[in-house]
Structure 1
Amino acid sequence: MSFTLAIVGRPNVGKSTLFNRLVGKRLALVDDQPGVTRDLREGAARLGDLRFTVIDTAGLEEATDESLQGRMRRLTERAVEMADVCLFMIDARAGVLPADRVFAEILRKKSAKVILAANKVEGQAADAGLIEAYELGLGDPVPISAEHGEGMADLLQVLTPVAEAAESHEPETEVDIDEEVDEGKPLQIAVVGRPNAGKSTLINKILGEDRLLTGPEAGITRDAISVSTVWDGTPMRIFDTAGMRKRAKVQDKVEKLSVSDGLRAVKFAEVVVVLLDVEIPFEQQDLRIADLAEREGRAVVVAVNKWDLEDEKQAKLKELKEEFERLLPQLRGAPLVTVSAKTGRGLDRLREAVLRAHEVWNRRVTTSQLNRWLAGMIEMHPPPAPGGRRIKLRYATQVKTRPPGFVVMCSAPEKLPESYSRYLINGLRDDFDMPGTPIRLTMRSQADKNPYKGKTKSTPSRLRKHLGKPPLKP
């Protein structure tokens, strides 16, 4: 049984709280102030035996112009058209407001199936609002408390006929058991950067539709929204994150939650696209974001947006490459791609760079290749000899991928300087074609395999009797 449920209503009636309860995770940002949700967020919901897709929407407001509220409303209306059924939520404590009546009339025209839910019904303060809900003409309201989980059984009872109707309309398809279908796990990509760098616009261009809210205002995106797509034959899951400003400038509670949500998306991603603005590239915050992705061990691609606004392209590109090498030496060799999210130019190069970075991130080198390489590196530059005793590098092996991790067994790892480790890491990048990806190199002391090392020599007792020596004292 599968259908799509869109949760709609005025701002701050509890839509995101109910969304989180249905998906069983705190995916959507929740706060007391109205208007926190701006984009459409989809999730796999579970309620009793039902499995369905739920869409969290922005609060409906009486705005139809090109303002931010007007664009948010158009996205919500689009979700209503996509969904099989709409769950129209009101605040039972506040009662039915004039805006609720307006939006109820709109839903009656746009959606064939509307379920009315009265939220926040815990306590006697909600009784009057629950009675007022009948005047909307959308049938019996379902009393629920999204915060405390009350009324979920009633909601299940109302949604069950919807699921059965959706199942009966599903076309029967014959499955050929001999045909092997391998969709593959989608590639996880996070697009990060400062506010107004064009992250949402870039993802919309990749998707080929206006799926994410965009506009001239900085900081529109708040949630880390994930969208699934097939980009030129490659299944991908792309995370759009909130713009990250300097920590000292982040005072608003919702912005702090947004940045935290974006950092979590970076940790779950495989490839991180750091999006820069060509007019102000490599600002201090850009460097911090790129360094964060490297420290988290993600494959990194640097993309410079708004390239269509640049007149001196060749000179600017040379300048960008020089600054990249100077300011981000830990990402030496990482792809630097110029794109225009507005026109779509450069997206093919961006896709190739993402796939290339992901392939390098998963690369594995055999132990025999590593040890031949290590012998050559030692021959060119022997390790130091602190105190007159040279450190011996015995052998190397790769212990992990994603990102590549190597261990070198040596005699005194605590005495090996950091500069020699960097020398080995740069050699790994150049000799095994691993540009840009984070490399983890660990120096480890090899335990001595001699079981008698450190033990005192003693003559066996039977030989002592033969030699006439007194036995050892116990």
Structure 2
Amino acid sequence: MSKPVVAIVGRPNVGKSTLFNALAGEQISIVKDTPGVTRDRIYADVEWLNHKFTLIDTGGIEPESKDIILSQMREQAQIAIDTADVIIFITDVRQGLVDADAKVADMLRRSHKPVLLVVNKVDSFKKFMTDVYEFYNLGIGDPIPVSAASQLGIGDMLDEVVKHFDEDQLEEAEDERPRIAVVGKPNVGKSSIINKLIGENRVIVSNVAGTTRDAIDTEIVWNKKPYVFIDTAGLRRKNKIKEELERYSIIRTVTAVDRADVVVVVIDATEGVTEQDAKIAGIAHERGKGIIIAVNKWDAVEKNDKTIYKYTNEIRNTLSFMPYAEIMFISAETGQRLPKLFEKIDMVLENQTLRVQTGVLNEIMTEAVALQQPPSDKGKRLKLFYITQVAVKPPTFVIFVNDKELMHFSYVRYLENKIRDTFGFQGTSLKFIIRERQEKER
């Protein structure tokens, strides 16, 4: 089930980041981020009244002249129109209605996407309400007064946001075909891989543009089984500044990964694995997807008997936060090992939905505890009572313990490795939830 995407657009200093932070809560700046992934504050997962959505900040503008402001705002509006289901257009009651606001409003109106006009910095509804009415002149609906800084009116605004979430997305959930997102930096060969797969299968390809996304979905049938490939390429604007391209491709990646079951992270063999690759892989890891790392252009690398070994180590080091990811070396150009991609996808899908019986899990846990004593602190030792699997995609386990504080990350990792020793779970992350239980409750 893919989450709706909500984007924030607005001029400099109208309070985009303040609103973003107010909605995202403190979740983002806390250091519980994936090791090895630096988090640009581009997106956050937000929940409101049982609706989950991905919030996107389309970018900061710090230019000098009005022309640049306008052209960059158009750029941001375009990103929002391309990727979002709902757009929050934020204006500033103290600066009043500005020419740039009107021009961007025109673009947004023509996009036929739901747009919420939010007037920020309304610290007192009494005092500013007459100024808020001025924004009716933009002609994109009722202005919603908020103060991001004092968190006034945010709930009313979110109520309006979730009203626009689309029922189309629920239909996607009923579609049984596995969804594979092909992600990676620009020019690593994402589209070439998909084109080669289409070519080799001689299938009839149905390119249906996603309902609100501009990623193209392609059905490919392999061994009589249909798969939907989500291509995040299609970014061919050469004149863009590198940072903007990166920001844009990360936003596109987030929306594609959300819709996928398995994510194929494509790395360019001639460049090696980079920090940008780690960022992109981190998005799939954080969202608990099945992951295959496909090293493309393998035909272009000079090899000896140690090359694969050296490459694998380099990838494992840079992507140390996801040791479970499957790695394969391919060439879209020659088609080398591409048929194996489907075998890997099937294996990862199977592992993503694998359920382990409670009895077996508790046997593994008991044995693990016997082999390595749980940590203790100030004379109190961690006790593990019980483990059970509560979900799939990714496989999620709840462990009941006497004291949550004592359950160190390293001991969870140790148990995870024991479970993997038995069941493999290659290509998928595992999620562990630690719950406390008093001795007498047992």
Give TM-score, length-normalised by structure 1.
0.52
> In 1, Cα distance between the equivalents of 2:74 and 2:230?
25
Distance 2:256 2:322 in 1: 20
Distance of 1:357 and 1:437 partners within structure 2: 7
Contact 1:204–1:212 (8 Å) recurs in 2: no
1:97 is aligned to: none
User: Counterpart in 2 of 1:331?
Assistant: 322
Task: Report the equivalent of 2:358.
Answer: 367
- In the TM superposition, residue 343 of structure 1 has moved relative to its aligned partner by 1.7
The one-letter amino acid of 2:379's match is G
Aligned to 2:219: 228
Q: Distance in 2 between matches of 1:317 and 1:237?
A: 30
What residue number does 1:377 align with? 368
Listed one character per residue, the Cα deviations across residues 187-227 of structure 1 (whole Å, up to 9, x for unaligned) are 100000111100011101111179899xxxxxxxx942211
Q: Does 1:251 pair with 2:244?
A: yes
Match of 1:346 among 337, 340, 363: 337
User: Separation in 2 of the partners of 1:269 and 1:313?
Assistant: 36
- 1:299: how far off? 0.3
TM-score when normalising by structure 2: 0.55
- Taking only the aligned residue pairs, the percentage that are identical comes to 35
Rg larger in structure:
1
In the other structure, the counterpart of 1:23 is none
Aligned to 1:322: 313
- Partners of 1:148 and 1:338 in 2: how far apart? 43
Equivalents in 1 of 2:178, 2:282: separation in Å?
21
Decide whether aligned partners of structure 1 residues 248 and 404 sit closer, same or farther in structure 2, where only a CA change above 3 A counts.
farther
Alignment partner, residue 7 of structure 1: none
| Alignment check: 8 A CA contact 2:191 2:233 kept | no
CA apart distance, 1:393: 0.5
One-letter amino acid matched to 1:401 = V
Contact 1:223 1:242 in 2 (8 A): no
- Where relative contact order (Cα < 8 A, 6+ residues apart) is larger, the structure is 2
Name the structure 2 match of 1:414: 405
Q: Distance in 1 between matches of 2:378 and 2:320?
A: 32
After superposition, give the CA deviation of every residue in 1:232-291 in whole Å (9 maximum; x if it has no partner): 3221110111389xx993236xx7555423311101100000001111121111111112
Partner residue of 2:393 out of 387, 402, 408: 402
Structure-2 change in CA distance of 1:285 and 1:248 (3 Å): farther
Asked if 1:305 corresponds to 2:305, the answer is no
* RMSD, aligned α-carbons: 3.4
Q: Secondary structure at the match of 1:330?
A: coil
Structure 1 counterpart of 2:230, which letter? F
Judge conservation of contact 1:190–1:241 (CA < 8 Å) in 2: yes
Pairs aligned (count):
270
Pick from 328, 349, 355 the counterpart of residue 346 of structure 2.
355
In structure 2, the CA distance between the partners of 1:235 and 1:223, relative to structure 1 (3 Å rule), is same
Deviating more after overlay: 362-371 vs 352-361: 352-361
CA distance in 2 between partners of 1:148 and 1:347 (Å): 40
CA change 1:295–1:184 in 2 (3 A) is: closer
Aligned structure 1 segments of 4 or more residues deviating by more than 4 angstroms? 145-149, 209-213, 255-258, 447-451
Cα distance between partner residues in 2 of 1:351 and 1:329: 25
**1:301–1:447 CA distance, 2 compared to 1 (3 A):** same
**Gaps in structure 1 of 5+ consecutive residues:** 1-30, 42-144, 150-182, 214-221, 452-474
Could you tell me which runs of 5 or more consecutive residues in structure 2 were left unpaired when the two chains were aligned: 1-72, 83-108, 114-173, 208-212
Q: Give, as a single letter, the amino acid of the residue that structure 2 aligns with 1:251.
A: E
